[in-house]
Amino acid sequence: MARKKSVNPYSVQSVLGIVFTAIGVPFLVIGIILAMNIRSLMEDTSDPEQAWILPFVFVLIGAIFAAIGLGFVIWLIRKNKAIKKVIEGGYTVNAVISDIVINNSIEINGRNPYVISCQYQDPRTGILHIFRSKNIMFFPRGLVGSTVRVFVDPQNFKNYYVDIDSMLPQVQIH
């Protein structure tokens, strides 16, 4: 029975992308509308030469926020496409889970996620490849020593995806 890959639509990057884009686009639109109506702004101010400052500030803030937000969104789309490409076009190797470590660089609600580290030795070259999984928010007991499927790009082993979803239980938090 094939399990559907779990995709977290609420990752930090997607939330940041949505928030920054949602803030930036309205500022950008308001700035453009103000710039289009610069003549009426010049008539309403005491110093007509400074009427351009307000539209400029709105456009600048909006462009910066929208660019940051769209940057996150584009990065996520590219990352997901690369994973999909490796899964569909690469080949699989069976790696042995060697370690489960805490990712101290990330903290969510006072908790650190875990990362599964696994090893595969290429029989043709003898090179030992070490792969790391995505972050998971619970400790997967009893997995050290078992094998996990890793999708790899045959031309570049740096492009890979560790298929931990197929061996982890489904978790529902209530």
Q: What is the pLDDT of residues 9-41, one digit of tens each?
A: 557 788 889 999 999 999 999 999 988 888 887
Tell me what pLDDT residue 22 has. Answer: 94
State how far the Cα of 25 lies from the Cα of 27, in Å rounded to an integer.
Answer: 5
**Is the pTM value of this prediction over 0.85?**
no
- Any idea what DSSP says for residue 137? S
Q: Encoding tokens for residue 15?
A: 């939330």
β-partners of residue 130 are 119
Whose structure tokens read 């006072």? Answer: 110
**Per-residue confidence band for 57, with pLDDT thresholds at 50, 70 and 90:** very high
- pLDDT tens-digit map of 92-127: 999 999 998 998 988 888 888 899 999 999 888 889
Lateral strand order in the sheet of 156-162? 128-132, 114-121, 91-102, 147-153, 156-162
Alpha-carbon gap, residue 84 to 86, rounded angstroms? 5
Residue that the structure tokens 């997607």 belong to: 14
Is residue 136 predicted with pLDDT exceeding 50? yes
Among 87, 111, 126, residue at a domain's last position: 87
What per-residue confidence (pLDDT) applies to 9? 53
Quickly tell me which residue has 């529902």 as its tokens. 172
Closest CA to 137 of 116, 167, 118: 116
Same-domain check for residues 83 and 107: no
Helix intervals (H) in the chain: 12-36, 38-44, 53-89
**Count of structural domains within the chain:** 2
d(CA 88, CA 161): 11
Mean pLDDT of 136-155: 85
Report if residue 56 sits inside a domain.
yes
Same domain, 126 and 144: yes
| Listed residues 87, 120, 154: the one ending a domain | 87
Q: Note whether 105 and 141 are same-domain residues.
A: yes
Task: Mark whether 73 and 31 lie in a shared domain.
Answer: yes
- Mean pLDDT, the chain, as a whole number? 85
In a shared domain, residues 33 and 63: yes
Give the structural domain span for 39.
12-87
Residue 61 is predicted with a pLDDT of 96
The DSSP output letter for 111 is B
Same domain, 116 and 138: yes
The answer to whether residue 162 is domain-embedded is: yes
| Boundary residue ending a domain (42, 66, 87) | 87
